[in-house]
Structure 1
Amino acid sequence: MPIEINIRSNLKEITKSLSDLAYRQVNFAAAQAINDLARQVAVAERDNIKATFEKPKPFTVNAVGVSGATKRTLTAVVYVKPIAARYLAPYEEGGVHKLPGRALLNPKNIRLDQYGQLSRTVLRRLKARRDVFIGPVKTKDGEVNGVWQRVPARRKQPATLKLLIRFGDAIEVKKRLGFGTTGRDIVERGWSGAFDRAMARALATAR
C-alpha cells in the first residue's frame, strides 16, 4: 500500500539546461518538491478515507504518514501505519474484511459509539453480565451464533432472548480506496509546478 515518490529519471532532463548555480541547488529543490507532493498525497488519502467510510475513527484517518525525502535519497514514501494497513488492505487490493477476532461482529440491539462502531470494552462488559451469554441459538430462521441477553418475563409477556451482537463470517469488500491511483495522479499533475516553486525558493536563498 505505500506510495513511493522518486523522480531521479525526470531530473536528468531538467539538469541539462540549468546554470551552474541552479545545478548546485537542484537536488535540494527536488527534495523540497517531493516532500510538498508527499504531504499533498497524505492529505488526499486522509480525505479519501473519510469519503469512503461512514464516520471513520481518527485512528484510521490519522494512520496515513509520510517519510520525507532528502537531497541524497530524493525519495518520499506515503504509507499507512501497520495496524490500520492490515484492515485497510482489502479496500485497496480486494478480498474479504480482515476480522479483529474469529468472527465478524454485527451489532443488532446495542448502542454504538460516535463512529457507529462497537467500542473495545463493550464485549468485555457484556461477558461479565449475568443476563448475557455467548453462543448459538436455534431460531425460526436457523441457528444464530452471537451475544444474547435473557429478557425476563413481564406481566403477560413471556421471557425472551434478545440478540445483541451477531457473529458472522468475513465478507467480500466492495468499496475501493484507490490509494495508489490517487497518489500517482497528484504526483503526475503536480510535479512540474512543485519543482519550479521549490527551485525558485532555492535560488532566492542560495549564497
Structure 2
Amino acid sequence: MAKQIPFATATALNSIAFDVMRKENDSMAEIFDNPRPFTLRATQVEKKASKTDLTAVVSIRPSQEKYLLPYEVGGKHQSDWKLGNLLVPVDGPVDQYGQISKGMLRRVLDRPDVFKGTINGIKGIWQRPTRGVQRTGNKGTKGRLQNFGGRKTGLKLLYAWRDNKSVGKSLDFAGRARRTIDSLSSPALEAAIQKAIRTAR
C-alpha cells in the first residue's frame, strides 16, 4: 500500500489541477461581457504531477496572459495594436463579440475609401464619403456629416484610438485557485487513496 501513496497523491493533484482550470475558465464568462472562446480557454494545466514529481501547475496561456495580466495585478489595458493604445469602434463593424478582429480590420483597411489619419485632432480610421448625384443633378456626397471639434466633415470615423485606461475588473486568478484547492484537496486525496486501495495488488 505504501508504494501506492505517491501514485494516489499525483492522481489527487491532477484532479484538483483540472478542477482549478475549469473553474478559472468558467469565471471568464462572469467577469467579462460576451468574451471570445479564446478567452474562455485561457487557463491550462501546464504540468501534471507524477509519482516522482508531485507538482501540478495551472497557468494562463501566454497568448491570453498578455491582455489578462492587468486584471490580476492591476494596471492599464494591454493592446496588440501597433500604436499601443486601444482601438475603439465608432461606426466601424465589429464581430459577434463586439470586438475588432485583426482580420476584420485588415479587410476594412483594404478598401480604397478607408485610411488611417488624424482629423481635427482625432486619431483614427476614417472612411471617405462616396460620390453620388443629388436630385438637383449636381454631384455631391452620400452619407451624413459628422461633427468633430466644432467643425463638420464629410468623413466617417470608423474607429478611434483612445488612451489606455486602468482596468476596472479583477480576475482574482490566484485567490480563486487557492479557494478551489482548499475546498477540493481533502476529498480528492481521499478518493485517490480509496482508488489506490481498490487497485493495490
- Structure 1 counterpart SS, 2:102: coil
Higher helix share: 1
Q: What are the equivalent positions in structure 2 for 1:94-105 lying under 5 Å apart?
A: 94-101=74-81, 102=83, 103-105=85-87
Give the deviation of 1:153 after TM superposition: 5.9
- Structure 2 counterpart SS, 1:134: strand
One-letter identity of the residue aligned with 1:32: T
What TM-score do the two structures reach when normalised by structure 1? Answer: 0.83
Give the deviation of 1:61 after TM superposition: 1.6
Query: Could you say which residue in structure 1 is the equivalent of 2:151?
Result: none
Q: Aligned partners of 1:168 and 1:199: how far apart in 2?
A: 55
Show CA shifts across 1:108-138 (max 9, x none): 1122111211122222222222211211111
One-letter identity of the residue aligned with 1:100: D
Q: CA RMSD in A?
A: 1.6
What TM-score do the two structures reach when normalised by structure 2? Answer: 0.85
Query: Could you say which residue in structure 2 is the equivalent of 1:11?
Result: none
- Structure 1 counterpart SS, 2:127: strand
Query: Could you say which residue in structure 2 is the equivalent of 1:69?
Result: 49
Query: Could you say which residue in structure 2 is the equivalent of 1:187?
Result: 181
Of 24, 27, 42, the match for 2:3:
24
Of 147, 150, 168, the match for 2:125:
147
Query: Could you say which residue in structure 2 is the equivalent of 1:167?
Result: 161
Show CA shifts across 1:10-67 (max 9, x none): xxxxxxxxxxx2x222111111111111111000000111111112112222131102
Q: Which runs of 5+ in 2 are unaligned?
A: 143-153
| Alignment size in residue pairs | 182
Give the deviation of 1:158 after TM superposition: 5.5
Query: Could you say which residue in structure 2 is the equivalent of 1:121?
Result: 103
Q: Aligned partners of 2:110 and 2:41: how far apart in 1?
A: 33
Structure 1, 27-36 or 158-167: larger mean CA deviation: 158-167
Q: Aligned partners of 1:158 and 1:206: how far apart in 2?
A: 82
One-letter identity of the residue aligned with 1:192: S
Give the deviation of 1:80 after TM superposition: 1.1
Of 114, 127, 130, the match for 2:112:
130
- Structure 2 counterpart SS, 1:121: helix
Identity of aligned residues (%): 39
Q: Which runs of 5+ in 1 are unaligned?
A: 1-20
- Structure 2 counterpart SS, 1:84: helix
Q: Aligned partners of 2:80 and 2:115: how far apart in 1?
A: 20
